Chain A
Amino acid sequence: MPHHREVDTINRRSGIAFAFLTPNLLGFMVFTFLPVLAALGLSLYRWDLFHAPSFVGLRNFVELLGWYQEDGQIHANDPGFWKYLGNTLFLMMGIPVNMAAALFIALVLNQKIRGRVFFRTVFFLPTICTGVGVMLLWMWIYNPEFGLLNHLLSLVGVEGPSWLRSYAWAKPSIMIMGLWGAMGGTNMIIYLAGLQGIPPELYEAADIDGASSAAKFWYVTLPALTPTTFFIFITSVIGGFQGGFDAAYVMTRGGPDGATTTISYYIFEHAFQWFNMGYAATIAVVLFALVLLVTLVNWKFGGKRVQYV
């Protein structure tokens, strides 16, 4: 048994530690941890904020994910959800394009050339400016009558589409804006750091073997970058599932005809426009499950596929 004084010291130390921890831990409990539990609970209720909540068990989940059969055809209980999930996945197809562009820029910038820092700064500008300001700018660029884009297209004799107002072009418009905003940004910086971390001996060995530039890229650079690529891909996918709210709200209000409504925008509509708090929480819980799934896949397979140098 320890002496009393020792126990006192340990308790005192714990006390000091918790004094440091408390502000953050309190905020963390109240604004993150308990709300997660509350969201799980809320998904079992129907509640419009103004009347008493009523317990509905798993009926929200059946309403969201279930289907019924009519005239030999299968109909979703909530066709909107599947459509908006599809929209979200469609927008996520921009991720690989974005990553390829980021890698390419990083490769060019990783050479011994003058003005690297200058170009890096310039390429980062769109990422810095991201937000409502840039979205308004792109609404103006995409303006069918007076916008810059259709004007430039008309110079080469092409009649541009009506971009954000067109059902077919609304999603690609948002993806193009996303590509412009991100390809020289965070992912490029991470790739650049990854490239600088590749041991030069690997290239020296490849040189001795007489490898061409292309061979060095495929057999040295790309494998060595696998952990980086995997990290960027997973974080992008997790972000992608949750994304699209700001652009949908500011630029299109989720339209035309739901073409740009993503899961997060659908949650917002249910919670803060139609006051279906329980149903909104249900969609959020399903979104959480999707993100969790990606994270688990990451843990399970990430370690094996990744090539460490």
Chain B
Amino acid sequence: MFELSVPLRRRLAHGTSYVFLIVVGITMVAPLLWMLSTSLKSAQEDVLDPAQWLPAALNWSNYVEVWVEIDFARALLNSVLVTVAVTVGQVFTSSLAAFAFARLKFFGRDKIFLGYLATLMVPGAVTMIPVFILLRELHWINTYYALIIPAMFSAYGTFLLRQFFLSIPTELEEAAVLDGCSTFGIYRNVILPLSKPALSALAILTFMGSWRSFMWPLIVTHYQEMYTLPVALTAFQEMHTVQWTLLMAGSVIMILPMLVVFIVGQRFFIEGIRLGAVKG
């Protein structure tokens, strides 16, 4: 038997690692590339040879067609509107409440916070039915209110931000108080600027969740004009199940904003996952 020298062994191990990483990487990316390739094929091409990775010609017309066929512009507008409103609303209300929980003293603070924590484990299916009934009574079904307002408040977001606010040293605030800064001033001028990473993390997580949210929009929208992208795509698929080129074009459009947000805010996104996982 012969012993491999240490550097050689290490290089071999690294080589094996790279082979593994590349194989996994291809597995992760290949389906997505296939989606992109299908979205650019002609309608005849897509059923001929599935493994033909490059379309004969780039059929950008699929994107135009999907845009027209399912009132895509409206669905996109709805999705953008709802996602932006939910994200802004959630970051705003969560940061205000998290500030109160982390920095202010008031009657019943810890009990109320415990109530927030307790609801973190309540399945969405439990609250979904009563909230639907409430919105129906308010005649909010098929309105933006139904898509936006119930999603604007988050116990999880409050929890996440409170944890972060608690980690900020209080000296700065004490100095601000001496300078005659109001409580709102402390929130606005001390805490928020210092919490950009956590606020960005929450904003990105909320954006992703809202953008891909499917069950709730499906339940509260019954007219095509109010559909968000995921619901519109699903409805389209039910009607034209064989037009894979169009479906893939629609899917690419749906996925693109999430990819952009991820690539731009990757650092905060990963930070958000870590913040969320510390609760243990």
A contact residues vs B (CB 8 Å cutoff): 13-14, 16-18, 20-21, 23-28, 30-36, 38-39, 42, 49, 105, 108-109, 111, 113, 115, 119, 121-126, 128-134, 136-141, 143, 145-148, 151-152, 155, 180, 184, 186, 189-190, 193, 227-228, 231, 238, 241-242, 245-246, 249-250, 263-264, 267-268, 271-272, 277, 280-281, 283-285, 287-288, 291-292, 295
B62 proximal to A (CB < 8 A): no
Q: Please determine whether B254 and A131 come into contact, CB atoms closer than 8 angstroms.
A: yes
Interchain nearest-CB distance for B258 vs A (Å): 5
29 contacts between A and B (CB under 8 A): A20-B100, A24-B94, A27-B93, A27-B152, A31-B153, A32-B155, A35-B134, A36-B122, A108-B20, A108-B21, A121-B266, A125-B28, A128-B208, A129-B255, A131-B214, A131-B230, A132-B254, A133-B35, A137-B251, A139-B237, A189-B273, A189-B274, A231-B277, A250-B214, A264-B123, A267-B125, A281-B130, A287-B123, A295-B121
Contacts A38-B130, A136-B237 hold; do A24 and B96 have CB atoms under 8 A apart? yes
B114 within 8 A of A: no
For B17, what are the chain A residues with a Cβ–Cβ distance below 8 Å?
108, 111, 113
CB pair B247 A136 closer than 8 Å: yes
CB nearest to A268 among chain B residues = B215
Task: Check if B119 is an interface residue, CB within 8 A of chain A.
Answer: yes
A281 and B131 alpha carbons, distance in the complex (Å): 12
Determine whether the beta carbon of A180 is less than 8 Å from that of B27.
yes
Give the number of residue pairs across the A-B interface with Cβ within 8 Å. Answer: 259
- B28 A126 Cβ-Cβ under 8 A: yes
Interface residues of B (CB under 8 A from A): 13-14, 17-18, 20-21, 24-25, 27-29, 31-32, 34-35, 38, 46-47, 49-51, 92-94, 96-97, 99-101, 104-107, 109, 112, 115-116, 119, 121-134, 136, 149-150, 152-153, 155, 158, 183, 187, 208, 211-212, 214-215, 218-219, 229-230, 233-234, 237, 244, 247-248, 250-252, 254-255, 258-259, 262-263, 266, 270, 273-274, 277, 280
Report A-chain residues with C-beta under 8 Å of the C-beta of B229. 132
Dominant SS among interface residues on chain A: helix
Determine if A23 and B122 form an interchain contact, defined as CB atoms under 8 angstroms apart. Answer: no
Q: Which residues of B contact A32 (CB under 8 A)?
A: 119, 122, 127, 153, 155
